[in-house]
Structure 1
Amino acid sequence: MAAEQDNTFDITIIGGGMVGASLALLLSSLKLDWRIRVVEAVATPSSGVPAQPSFDARSTALSHSTREIFELLGLWDQLQQGVAAINEVHVSDRGHIGTTRLSAQEQKLPALGYVVENRHLGAALMAAVQQTPDIDWLAPARVTAVQARREGVELTVSLDDQDATESFASRLLVVADGAQSHTRELLGIGASSKDYGQMAIVANISLAQDHNGVAYERFTDLGPMAMLPLQPIEGEHRAALIWTLPPERAEAMLQADDETFLEELQQRFGFRLGHFQRVGSRQAYPIKLVTSDEQVRHHVVVTGNAAHSLHPVAGQGFNLALRDLAVLAEVLGDAAARGESLGDLHVLQRYLNQQQADQQKTILLSDLLPKVFGLDSSPVALARNLGLLALDAVPLLRHQFARLGMGLETRGTPRLNGIKGAANG
């Protein structure tokens, strides 16, 4: 029996990226003596090696609700050393007069959001995981089979560095291995995909002047673009560019030399950040809305990009995922207090019911914005510019719109009682 117990986990998370690691820490923070295993395909980086600053580092926008969750986990003090605060958001429609500005000062908050380099966030999460004894981190390893059992699931994984396999049981399986989830496919869970017919170019841009913590969201006839503030490196001001374009135009911009790229970008964006100095390495990916056909079934939860991968226009993907995780952890903690099984469908359905409104509103926002601003007809252009002007003129409208972007208006739970109690205990 002891050997069987050692080979059974309470919760197994497939995918050890930012979503999977965050969930493991949220679950551990409840201090319910759960055995938590994370299965990650990529080898664990050497501990104690600091994440070196890089001009080209990719980044993620963090909403205010995400800051609140990381504060509850005791991670924010470390994270904020490497984040750039968003003090103001400037929204504009190229070629039209409509603009609006959202400010942290008006919302009486330290910042509307933050931009963090992925390597810095990943290093902070990994350091916390490595200091948490009830999280078993298995990497590099890939799931090769999943079988449903009466009390959970049985998983078989291949251990990439040993040319061996291992089988174990889990009372609850959480799928968090990305939009093209292999585990979701193994479970026979389909996914719906909406192709926006655009590519997103991501790159870091060197600026002639300080961004002063202003994030820019600019809608153009070819697609939206965002410029997000980054921390400077060696005195060089930087912004993270996300530029959505039709595929053929995106390919041309990828192939263009740096001077041509910056000239085109400057023409489309304008001079609110002064003259662009240089562009770092450019990458591009197709933009699709991917939603899992199922998010919960007996002993299984699908989350993160495996559940919903969004258009990047509003920067809501990771923030929605983290709100999902916080609600999931809270519901599982409540279930344990009631003596319910972690994998019972009615427990997992409670999580989905609680978070469904947040998911639907956030997906709708991310889907609707590029659609509305992509229409060229004069009546639509007039209506959306009147909307932007109204936002700029009416404080109450700005307040509600800002709360929506910060993840404070849509989140399924305002309290996170179980996590907060564990963090304070």
Structure 2
Amino acid sequence: MTKPDTDLIIAGGGLAGATLALAVARMVPSLRVTVVEAFPLSPDALPESYQPSYDARSTALAWGSRLIFEELGLWRRLAEHATPIHHIHVSDRGHFGVTRLHASEHGQEALGYVADNRWMGLCLMRELLETGVQWQAPAEVTDMTPIPDGVRVELTTGDNGTREMTAHCLVVADGGRSGLREKLGFQPSHHSYGQNALIANVSTSDSHGFSAFERFTDAGPMALLPHGSPARAGHQSALVWTLTDKALAEVLELSDDDKCRRLQERFGWRLGRFTRIGTCHHYPLTLTTVDEPVRPGVALVGNAAHALHPVAGQGFNLALRGLMTLVEQFRLATEQGKSIGDLDVLRRYQSLHRRDWQQTVRFSDSLVRLFGQSMPPIIAARDAGLVGLDLLPGAKRWFASKAMGLGGRRAVIGRPGKLDREVTRNE
């Protein structure tokens, strides 16, 4: 084809899409990038105007994700409102199994961090303003047609108009709910866990002490992650509470005080009394995977390619490693004079990322299944396993590497760096 309108179109300007755009701009600056986002951009939405909200939604960032953001020049700004996780406490409610991880035991500042989604989005936007990335917003990708050496993409704009753009490659980064993935002919596999995640911020009478708690109960796992000030251990935590449909409906009908009492019954008293719960959000829990997430000129990333159970907080960190793997293939293709939408290029990305997502899916899915069993022999075996993790240095290092997101890519953007050294040190 003649010279396309742009080299890369990214459908979706959320955390995954914006991170991909920044990574390409930083690491493959010769590529022209256009981000298509359904929501209008606010010109004054910059980090300097950010005011943390009690009800802010947040994401768990593994240590490996911090290293990637450092490579992208974003971490110093992100760290201003990223709460560190110094300790992780994993327990089986009503049983003896416990495992504890401490950052100091692994020579790290933290095992991970908790950052507000809006804060991360603002930081990404500020960095992107300093690049040549172009935006189409509000607009949506509604269709795509393969053409020689690329794709023709149809956009619906905010005024209900339509336009077309050509590019070498389209990356779908708008999550798993937009319908674009299915419209383009990708076939996802879904496995429902028959559970829902209730998300809210909570306050407790005792300080979290920068500790994260993963608590497995007979009704499903629940997690409390330290939230708030990055410098002072406060009393606010981010809650992920797994509930059946019936239990979710019951909890949503309760007053805030009764929600706290119900949560107290399920979690216990390790953080003292639950004194406040914020706005509750919820969504059904489904394991979604796409076996073939690439086609000539098209690649799926993030939740469009795989959506996991939130146990162990692996989802966004897996997506981030996949984005960096894709950018590395774009860089190599550009150096070799190949189109970034060439099927061999995209299949190489798929092959490299597949092992990581398969291992991560197995890790999170096996935790859900193992701790969902109520047979006494299985309970005894899993609790012995938790104790073993706590006592055996080799097993503990393996578990810590999973928690810190160091079990995937060995290097960032094709050259030895911090992530490479950290993975090697923790193997």
Question: What TM-score does the superposition give when structure 2 sets the normalisation length?
Answer: 0.94
- The answer for the alignment partner of 1:185 in structure 2 is 182
- The answer for the alignment partner of 2:421 in structure 1 is none
**Match 1:165 to one of 162, 166, 169:** 162
| 2-structure distance, mates of 1:171, 1:331 | 14
- The answer for the alignment partner of 1:93 in structure 2 is 92
How many Å apart are 1:166 and its aligned residue?
A: 1.4
* One-letter amino acid matched to 1:117: D
- The answer for the alignment partner of 2:424 in structure 1 is none
**Match 2:287 to one of 286, 289, 300:** 289
Matches within 5 A, 1:245-284: 245-284=243-282
How many Å apart are 1:47 and its aligned residue?
A: 2.6
How many Å apart are 1:353 and its aligned residue?
A: 1.1
Contact 1:213 1:229 in 2 (8 A): yes
Matches within 5 A, 1:51-66: 51-66=50-65
- The answer for the alignment partner of 2:406 in structure 1 is 408
* One-letter amino acid matched to 1:356: R
1:84 lines up with 2:88 in the alignment: no
**Match 1:381 to one of 379, 382, 388:** 379
How many Å apart are 1:144 and its aligned residue?
A: 2.1
| 2-structure distance, mates of 1:334, 1:106 | 37
| 2-structure distance, mates of 1:109, 1:103 | 9
1:355 lines up with 2:342 in the alignment: no
1:74 lines up with 2:94 in the alignment: no
* One-letter amino acid matched to 1:344: D
**Match 2:144 to one of 143, 146, 163:** 146
Contact 2:209 2:233 in 1 (8 A): no
How many Å apart are 1:412 and its aligned residue?
A: 3.0
- The answer for the alignment partner of 1:216 in structure 2 is 213
- The answer for the alignment partner of 1:30 in structure 2 is 27
- Tell me how many residue pairs correspond in the alignment: 415
Q: Which moved more, 1:7-16 or 1:227-236?
A: 227-236
How many Å apart are 1:294 and its aligned residue?
A: 2.2
How many Å apart are 1:266 and its aligned residue?
A: 0.7
| 1-structure distance, mates of 2:160, 2:223 | 44
How many Å apart are 1:418 and its aligned residue?
A: 5.6
| 1-structure distance, mates of 2:326, 2:29 | 15
Q: 2:394 aligns to what SS in structure 1?
A: helix
Structure 2 unmatched ranges of 5 or more: 419-427
- The answer for the alignment partner of 2:425 in structure 1 is none
Q: 1:184 aligns to what SS in structure 2?
A: helix
Cα distance change of structure 1 residues 419 and 167 upon mapping to structure 2, 3 Å threshold: farther
* One-letter amino acid matched to 1:152: G
- The answer for the alignment partner of 2:128 in structure 1 is 129
| 2-structure distance, mates of 1:151, 1:164 | 27
How many Å apart are 1:235 and its aligned residue?
A: 9.5
| 2-structure distance, mates of 1:319, 1:45 | 27
How many Å apart are 1:336 and its aligned residue?
A: 1.2
How many Å apart are 1:288 and its aligned residue?
A: 0.5
Q: 1:167 aligns to what SS in structure 2?
A: strand
Q: 2:168 aligns to what SS in structure 1?
A: strand
- The answer for the alignment partner of 1:331 in structure 2 is 329
**Match 2:5 to one of 5, 8, 14:** 8
| 2-structure distance, mates of 1:154, 1:68 | 35
Q: 1:79 aligns to what SS in structure 2?
A: helix
Q: 1:56 aligns to what SS in structure 2?
A: coil
How many Å apart are 1:21 and its aligned residue?
A: 0.2
How many Å apart are 1:51 and its aligned residue?
A: 2.2
- The answer for the alignment partner of 1:390 in structure 2 is 388
* One-letter amino acid matched to 1:123: L
Q: 1:8 aligns to what SS in structure 2?
A: coil
1:46 lines up with 2:43 in the alignment: yes
- The answer for the alignment partner of 1:107 in structure 2 is 106
How many Å apart are 1:45 and its aligned residue?
A: 2.3
How many Å apart are 1:232 and its aligned residue?
A: 4.5
Q: 2:6 aligns to what SS in structure 1?
A: strand
Cα distance change of structure 1 residues 339 and 418 upon mapping to structure 2, 3 Å threshold: farther
Contact 2:87 2:102 in 1 (8 A): yes
Cα distance change of structure 1 residues 352 and 82 upon mapping to structure 2, 3 Å threshold: same
* One-letter amino acid matched to 2:368: P
How many Å apart are 1:417 and its aligned residue?
A: 2.8
Matches within 5 A, 1:361-376: 361-376=359-374
* One-letter amino acid matched to 1:289: L
| 2-structure distance, mates of 1:388, 1:58 | 30
How many Å apart are 1:377 and its aligned residue?
A: 0.1
Contact 2:207 2:233 in 1 (8 A): no
**Match 2:338 to one of 340, 355, 369:** 340
How many Å apart are 1:32 and its aligned residue?
A: 3.6
Provide the identity percentage: 44
How many Å apart are 1:18 and its aligned residue?
A: 0.1
| 2-structure distance, mates of 1:94, 1:205 | 20
- The answer for the alignment partner of 2:173 in structure 1 is 176
Q: Which moved more, 1:10-19 or 1:258-267?
A: 258-267
Matches within 5 A, 1:228-243: 228-232=225-229, 237-243=235-241
| 1-structure distance, mates of 2:275, 2:170 | 48
